[in-house]
Amino acid sequence: MTDVRTVSATHPAPGVLSRIFRTEQDGAPGDGHEQVVLCHDRASGLKAIIAIHSTALGPALGGTRFHQYASEEEALEDALRLSRGMSYKNALAGLDLGGGKAVIIGNPAAKAEGGDKSEALLRAYGRFVQSLAGRYITACDVGTYVQDMDVVARECDYVTGRSPEQGGAGDSSILTAFGVFQGMRASAQARWGTPTLRGKRVGVAGVGKVGHYLVGHLVADGATVVITDVSETAVNRVRAAHPDVEVVADSQALLASSLDVYAPCALGGALDDDTVGALTAAGTSVVCGAANNQLAHPGVEKDLADRGILYAPDYLVNSGGVIQVADEIDGFNFERAKNKATKIFDTTLEIFTRAASDGVPPAVAADRLAELRMREISALRTILLPGARRG
């Protein structure tokens, strides 16, 4: 491990420092980060950023994304955005955990396949996480897998999402998909008066890690399912398991295919002005999917609500995965974790009720509830452990 620096020792993009140090008084609630660490190991080629947004509820938990960013500045922006989302996700999931996220800059393919991922790089990354002494607990994300976490754990005590052979929870996509399905059932209850997708036409954009499990739940529930994915392999896997699933060429074709429910399950930013217009034209009633950060820019949530489209906040319904890996911290029990993920149904209904009562979009109601829990628990911890909260 060759270099650990706070972001203030670097030259980040203009405005990034002001975002990190922003308070609730001079920014939106939830802006500002507690700690951002840049990690560089020259021997392995590791370049990583660990962003800790909040430890108000406990140690920051969030996955490690391995991605070929266009620039270091873009990677930093992603780490800041994703870590903030984890604070809100963990708060709404009822976990005693804060929010953090890490990104590794590079090609996530193995070195033998022309990428940057190697045992040396992952172990170097593990040493950086270990140096934070438990303030940040990592797990899988886009570009990292269970076997990668097993390697990271050879250097680090603060790793979840490990293989069952190593005492871990295994693939967190299983409960992520289950939780999205619970959110979709709650959306159906709110929109059509019954908690089932039977007879509804559901479009799933992205059938990779999470999406293919979600398709299984939908088919079992009696939904008509339409899918699309840029990966032919992913599409073929779903078709092999569920031959009656309809396949369309791309997201534009999916949006135009008269859906009752649209489920974005690929990368973020799926809900922009054009998408909302297409959903409106197609008569879509519900948006509920697994992708993180689905809203491309502020105001999309209001546009959806104004057009009568019920949006289930992404970080609420896709929290089954973090519930699964969080359960691993105390010794994993799948049924216990699944029971916690089942509560996503009730929380989603609560958000819809609060939104209607307050006259705000569900995304705003979800933010408010998460912020309320962070404030209340942080204040309680300050009262009960005053010495631990003093600098």
C-alpha distances out from residue 104 to 49, 157, 169, 280, 294, Å: 7, 19, 23, 38, 22
Is residue 101 annotated as a catalytic residue, yes or no? yes
Q: Active site residue: 89, 101, 200, 340, which one?
A: 101
Asked whether the beta carbons of 45 and 32 are under 8 A apart, the reply is no
CA distance 324 to 46: 28
Interatomic CA distance for residues 328 and 192, integer angstroms: 36
Asked if 120 and 80 touch (Cβ cutoff 8 Å), the reply is no
Amino acid (one-letter) located at 179: G
* 331-340 contacts, C-beta under 8 A, 24 or more apart: 331/167, 332/167, 332/168, 332/169, 334/169, 337/169, 337/175, 338/175, 338/178, 340/93, 340/94
Q: Which residues pair with 227 in a beta bridge?
A: 204, 247
**346: CB partners within 8 A, 6+ apart:** 186
DSSP secondary structure letter of residue 22:
-
DSSP state of 312: -
Give the residue numbers annotated as catalytic, written as ranges: 101
